[in-house]
Chains A and B, each alone.
Chain A
Amino acid sequence: DGGITQSPKYLFRKEGQNVTLSCEQNLNHDAMYWYRQDPGQGLRLIYYSQIVNDFQKGDIAEGYSVSREKKESFPLTVTSAQKNPTAFYLCASSIYPGNNFAYGYTFGSGTRLTVV
């Protein structure tokens, strides 16, 4: 079955450490996205990528980094510079180009990151 796999489901990090969240899709989607979800704040875009080897900052990119070396993979690194990293992180993908998003975004099951 096609879909998006995020791992791990739960992640604990010590303050000052970098951590990388995995996101893999086998939907052959061009575009991939990382969102952060906090209670009462909806989903906020961290980074997105429309094609391999290219990515753009979203509204809350500070303290995060990404790479897109393969179409299927879009890992997110939460660096020690992120002041409040405890959150639920969602990876998504969609068909591209343009804004013909008739099929919407497909989301992974998420990674819950806790800083201890």
Chain B
Amino acid sequence: AQSVAQPEDQVNVAEGNPLTVKCTYSVSGNPYLFWYVQYPNRGLQFLLKYITGDNLVKGSYGFEAEFNKSQTSFHLKKPSALVSDSALYFCAVRGPFPRDDKIIFGKGTRLHILP
């Protein structure tokens, strides 16, 4: 069965420093991978996705993620963190056929950007 692991409950980064939020996955077949961000009492906002092609995916708000097939990872990165990046981040994977419409979410990582 497919699964997603986010090993860190919380990540603290000083403003202006690079940030990384880790994600590893387990899925049969070719994965569809996603990152979403959630602000307090809000729904999910899409950041970026990997479907196929270039392993480095660029997304919204300056975020990017690198698909690493050998390490089954899809870490989220940003070169210079902003205080406004503080939020809850979810890594997600789409299921394989026939449930390729079903999204499995990681448990989330809370990102704190310190001024």
Do chains A and B stick together as partners?
A: no
